[in-house]
Amino acid sequence: MKKKLSPVAITGIVIGVVALFVAIFSISTYNGLAKQNQAVEAQWSQVENVMQRRADLVPNLVSAVKGSMNHETKVFTDIAKARANYNNASSTKAKASADADLNQSVGTLLNVISEDYPDLKSNSDVQTLMTQLEGSENRISVERKRYIDAVRDYNASVVTFPKNLFANMMGLGQKATFKADPSAYKVPKVDLGD
């Protein structure tokens, strides 16, 4: 003969099953929210990483472009001045002197070109600078978008029922989405002048 469970035993089993379900759900919810919280923090760290890359890269590129442009300017200015002196020379002695200056300037240019140091390529350097600036801004934009998406997913979990009850009990509130502070995240000014 089978023994029947008493109503008190059935009630205890039901309460135990419900308590076990609530405990499993609570642990699962907490772990899920904790993982999303870590994903948000990691994504913000990546945003800062690419902003740091830009902050490190841009001044060095600008300095390199300035140096290259200054060198080119001096070489080509010397050649232009020597050509003008030659064209303005009226006597044979003045023409010979201006020709010597022109030969020296052209010789300097040829030496620079043949030695390939420093390489006369300011247009290429400026293009590289612009490409790097654009790439840096694109990287930052992509990482900010990923951060915004991570915050959106996390906040959606934190505010939906029944996770919101557990999130509030565990102190896991909403995260602030990305808001640019113009003074803190200002794009560096590129100034190729002196």
Instruction: Band the pLDDT of 117: cuts 50, 70, 90.
Output: very low
Is residue 177 in some structural domain? no
In a domain, 92, yes or no: yes
Question: At residue 59, what is the residue type?
Answer: P
Is residue 189, in this structure, part of any structural domain at all?
no
For 61, how many CA atoms within 13 A lie in the half-sphere containing its CB? 21
Label residue 116 left, alpha or beta by phi (over 0 means left) and psi (-120 to 50 means alpha): left
The total number of structural domains that make up the chain = 1
Each residue's pLDDT tens digit, 61-105: 667 667 766 666 777 777 778 778 777 877 767 777 777 776 676
Query: Which residue is associated with the tokens 């290259």?
Result: 68
**120: domain range?**
8-169
Distance CA 68, CA 62 (A): 10
Residue 188 domain flag: no
Q: Residue 133 — φ and ψ, nearest 5°? A: -60, -45
Structural domain contains residue 63: yes
In the predicted structure, residue 141 carries a pLDDT above the cut 50: yes
In a domain, 140, yes or no: yes
